[in-house]
């Protein structure tokens, strides 16, 4: 049914203003004050609320085969949790197996996802076998709506790592095809050496996950990837940036005019490496790990000043039983943390508390991911775009507890975190999918979003 949101404050990446939003079918049809709408249009009272574009989580791992197991949220549970956190589109990572083509890798994952997704989705493809045929396929993959590829600079022993020659080849081909290369930047050789040293000394508590992958391990790879992107003249997207020196390198490259896009995640903005000293430290094991306070401060500065272009979650939850595999040995803990339901509420709460403007949250959670990844119908409240709309009440106090979350995981690293304000409704292409704490969406509603490549 067509609807009009009245009485709310519309937030864009640049402004906040009182306006009505008229939705016709699945699209935003008009925005303005005292809009005249056809008879029979449903009125939604948004008085006292912010009216926001749905967030785009550019980094999730749903039913993700990894570290000898599979992440705890399947495409249904993960997108249900997303909808309940104001996320109206997720990008999931597909891992290319050796010998596979890009579209060949995506096809079975799309077949798994399509009947389960409650919100719209697309894929980034993590390339592990960069053959000439795969490089050639960049153009056809982009034409099929898949213009973004990730290279793991890490996970050497898992057979996922891409070397510097691969990085250069992928960057060169991305420049020719308008595609975008993303990197997970950490130095695998140094990590493996550190792990060997700690194992020999019996140092296997979660703290040594951080100590084996400290700031310098991530920074070296950030700097190396930026170096090659600059040398090739191609854009680069750095996923889950979490360290101070890497942030400095991004800042310098951007100031020199290079298109280096940095993503960070809420867990790096909120937690420090001190979590690895906790009894439940294994639940926080993800890669890269949370870093020290100086890194967290640098990320906040980078976010405020526009050097962090997106905030996404790297949502990759593992159950308590899965995490417990590494109770006595951090190297056996599956790497990954949850966050898809916490991203928008956490950052909006920080905005309510005055740390950043609401406009910045819309920019990094909706508008920038849409622009960077070519989601032309998404990311902003603009006539003609999809009616992906979130209502947010800044006056609601909310304490995160796992029983209020909509993931299939049996705990949350965010347990007990107090927020100022919370999301009350999420609409996916005009369909109500979350209302006052309850998921009201539908399995299979979500559609694959064909992303547009950059113009070359
Ligand atoms: O620890 C993490 N981040 N797990 C998911 C895989 C990855 O590295 O992104
Ligand atoms: Zn990831």
The verdict on 78 and 114 lying in the same domain is: yes
Residue 409: what pLDDT? 98
395 CA from centroid of ligand 2 (Å): 33
Task: Using pLDDT thresholds of 50, 70 and 90, give the confidence band for residue 1.
Answer: confident
Is the predicted pLDDT of residue 105 greater than 90, yes or no? yes
CA-based Rg of the chain, rounded to a whole angstrom?
Answer: 21
The verdict on 45 and 75 lying in the same domain is: no
The verdict on 431 and 292 lying in the same domain is: no
Which residue carries 């070359």 as its tokens?
456
Rounded Cα distance, 290 and 388, in Å: 31
Ligand 1 close to Cβ of residue 453 (< 6 A): no
211 located within any domain: yes
Instruction: Give Cβ neighbours of residue 331 (< 8 Å, ≥ 6 apart).
Output: 195, 199, 204
Ligand 1 close to Cβ of residue 286 (< 6 A): yes
DSSP-assigned letter for residue 370: H
Helix axis angle for 215-232 and 164-177, nearest 10°, is 40
Ligand 1 close to Cβ of residue 243 (< 6 A): no
Domain range for 421 is 3-52+379-408+415-439
267 CA from centroid of ligand 2 (Å): 13
452 located within any domain: no
Mutate to test the pocket of ligand 1, among 213, 313, 336, 339 (most ligand atoms within 8 A of CB): 336
Q: Helix H segments across 353-429?
A: 358-362, 368-373
The verdict on 272 and 140 lying in the same domain is: yes
Contact by Cβ (8 Å): 346, 419 = yes
- If you count them, how many residues does the chain have? 456
Residue 354, class by beta-carbon neighbours within 10 Å (0-12 exposed, 13-18 middle, 19+ buried)? Answer: exposed
DSSP-assigned letter for residue 97: P
Maximum pairwise Cα distance, the chain = 74
Neighbours of 447 (CB within 10 A): 17
Please write the tens of the pLDDT for every residue from 418-440. Answer: 999 999 999 999 999 999 999 99
Contact by Cβ (8 Å): 410, 400 = no
The verdict on 172 and 38 lying in the same domain is: no
92 located within any domain: yes
CA atoms within 13 A on the CB side of 101: 12
The verdict on 16 and 68 lying in the same domain is: no
Please write the tens of the pLDDT for every residue from 253-309. Answer: 999 999 999 999 999 999 999 999 999 999 999 999 999 999 999 999 999 999 999
456 located within any domain: no
Contact by Cβ (8 Å): 381, 10 = yes
The verdict on 290 and 147 lying in the same domain is: yes
60 located within any domain: yes
The structure tokens listed for 441 are: 């969406």
Bridge partners of residue 392, in order along the sequence: 50, 423
Residue 378: what pLDDT? 98
42 located within any domain: yes
Question: Helix, strand or coil for residue 163?
Answer: coil
Residue 347: what pLDDT? 99
Mutate to test the pocket of ligand 1, among 65, 69, 314 (most ligand atoms within 8 A of CB): 314
Residue 216: what pLDDT? 98
Pairing between β-strand 3-6 and β-strand 9-11 as defined by DSSP bridges: unpaired
397 CA from centroid of ligand 2 (Å): 30
Please write the tens of the pLDDT for every residue from 314-352. Answer: 999 999 999 999 999 999 999 999 999 999 999 999 999
Mean pLDDT of the chain: 98
Sheet with 42-45: list strands edge to edge.
27-32, 20-24, 3-6, 42-45
Bridge partners of residue 427, in order along the sequence: 389, 432
The verdict on 98 and 199 lying in the same domain is: yes
The verdict on 238 and 283 lying in the same domain is: yes
444 located within any domain: no
Q: How many domains does the chain have?
A: 2
Phi/psi for 303 (5° steps) reads -70, -50
34 located within any domain: yes
The verdict on 333 and 396 lying in the same domain is: no
Question: Which ligand places an atom closest to the C-alpha of 66?
Answer: 1
Residue 50: what pLDDT? 99
Please write the tens of the pLDDT for every residue from 210-232. Answer: 999 999 999 999 999 999 999 99
Exposed e or buried b for every residue in 392-428, given b needs 16+ CB within 10 A?
bbbebebebeeeebbbbbebbbbeebebbbbbbbbbb
Q: Which helix (H) or strand (E) holds 103?
A: helix 102-113
Please write the tens of the pLDDT for every residue from 146-198. Answer: 999 999 999 999 999 999 999 999 999 999 999 999 999 999 999 999 999 99
The verdict on 61 and 162 lying in the same domain is: yes
The verdict on 267 and 398 lying in the same domain is: no
Is the predicted pLDDT of residue 391 greater than 90, yes or no? yes
Residue 323: what pLDDT? 98
**CATH number for the domain that contains residue 11:** 2.30.40.10
**CATH number for the domain that contains residue 66:** 3.20.20.140
Which residue carries 């100590």 as its tokens?
211
Is the predicted pLDDT of residue 403 greater than 90, yes or no? yes
């Amino acid at each position: 049914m067509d609807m009009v949101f009245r009485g709310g404050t519309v937030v864009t990446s640049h402004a906040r203003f009182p306006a009505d939003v008229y939705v016709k079918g699945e699209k935003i049809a008009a925005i303005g004050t005292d809009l005249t709408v056809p008879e029979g249009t449903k009125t939604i009272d948004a008085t006292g609320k912010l009216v926001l574009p749905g967030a785009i989580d550019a980094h999730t791992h749903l039913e993700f085969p990894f570290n000898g197991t599979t992440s705890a949220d399947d495409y249904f549970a993960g997108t249900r949790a997303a909808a309940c956190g104001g996320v109206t589109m997720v990008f999931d990572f597909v891992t290319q197996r050796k010998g596979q083509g890009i579209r060949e890798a995506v096809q079975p994952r799309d077949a798994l996802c399509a009947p389960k997704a409650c919100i719209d989705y697309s894929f980034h493809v993590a390339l592990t076998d960069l053959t000439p045929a795969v490089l050639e396929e960049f153009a056809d993959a982009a034409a099929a709506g898949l213009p973004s590829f990730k290279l793991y600079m890490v996970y050497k022993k898992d057979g996922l790592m891409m070397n510097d020659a691969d990085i250069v080849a992928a960057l060169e081909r991305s420049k020719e095809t308008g595609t975008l290369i993303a990197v997970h930047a950490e130095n695998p050789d140094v990590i493996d050496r550190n792990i060997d040293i700690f194992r020999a000394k019996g140092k296997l508590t979660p703290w040594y996950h951080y100590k084996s992958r400290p700031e310098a391990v991530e920074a070296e790879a950030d700097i190396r990837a930026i170096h090659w992107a600059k040398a090739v003249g191609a854009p680069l997207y750095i996923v889950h940036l979490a360290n101070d020196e890497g942030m400095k390198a991004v800042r310098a490259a951007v100031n020199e005019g290079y298109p280096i896009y940095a993503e960070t995640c809420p867990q790096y903005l909120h937690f420090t490496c001190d979590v690895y000293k906790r009894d439940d430290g294994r639940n926080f094991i993800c890669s890269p790990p949370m870093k020290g306070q100086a890194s967290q401060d640098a990320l906040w500065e980078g976010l405020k000043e526009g050097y962090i272009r997106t905030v996404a979650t790297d949502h990759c939850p593992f159950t308590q039983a899965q995490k417990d595999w590494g109770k006595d040995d951090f190297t056996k803990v599956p790497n990954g943390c949850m966050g898809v339901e916490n991203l928008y509420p956490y950052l909006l709460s920080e905005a309510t508390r005055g740390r950043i403007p609401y406009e910045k949250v819309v920019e990094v959670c909706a508008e920038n991911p849409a622009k960077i990844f070519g989601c032309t119908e998404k990311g902003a409240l603009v006539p003609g775009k999809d009616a992906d709309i979130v209502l947010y009440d800044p006056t609601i106090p909310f304490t995160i507890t796992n029983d209020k979350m909509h993931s299939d995981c049996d705990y949350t690293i965010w347990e007990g975190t107090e927020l100022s304000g919370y999301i009350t409704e999420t609409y996916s292409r005009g369909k109500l999918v979350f209302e006052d704490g309850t998921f009201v969406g539908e399995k299979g509603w979500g559609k694959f979003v064909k992303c547009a490549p950059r113009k070359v």
